[in-house]
Amino acid sequence: MIYTSILTLHLLCVFIYGGFLFVDIFFLSQMKEKLNKEEHKIAREAVMQHVRKVVPWALLLAVATGLYLISQVFGPIENQSLTYYQSLLSLKAFLGLWLGIRGFNQKFFKINPFVFKGHALPFTFVVSMIILSKFMYL
């Protein structure tokens, strides 16, 4: 029951974080075409002040619950090598930890990324992690 509850929380947090990235890339960035520069700045900030209250926490909770879930399903390493499942799960964990460290630095230390400042790379990582989830069980 605990595993299922944490998995549900994890998926909810991933949907919140991934959903924000999707909306930002495909919708909010397109407002520039319809609004002038000042209107765009005001509209984006109106949305972002609410986003900043929820999305970073959703990301950090997704990473924390993801680490718990990995600890429950990774399994033992046998014959000095990882299984196909463990390899893909490790790659997912790496991508998730990268996002988590990036988000943690932004939220608590106000350190913005030096490179990849937009949301395209994080969105690509989220989509890659979803695809990896599907291939893990083949």
**CA 125 from centre of chain:** 7
Mean pLDDT value of segment 126-136:
95
Task: Give, in degrees to the nearest 5, the angle at Cα 11 between 54 and 16.
Answer: 30
pTM, two decimals, is: 0.89
Q: What is the pLDDT of residues 49-73, one digit of tens each?
A: 999 999 999 999 999 999 999 999 9
Residue 112 confidence (pLDDT): 81
- As given in the structure block, the two tokens for residue 96 are 């998730």
Matching residue, tokens 């000042």: 38
Are 103 and 60 in contact, with CB atoms under 8 Å apart?
yes
Task: Give, in degrees to the nearest 5, the angle at Cα 29 between 93 and 61.
Answer: 30
* Whole-number Cα distances in Å, 56 to 21, 67, 104, 125: 12, 17, 8, 16
Are 42 and 31 in contact, with CB atoms under 8 Å apart?
no
**Domain range for residue 30?**
2-136
Give the count of domains, the chain: 1
Predicted confidence (pLDDT) at residue 114 exceeds the cutoff of 80? no
Residue 62 confidence (pLDDT): 97
User: What does pLDDT average to over the chain?
Assistant: 93
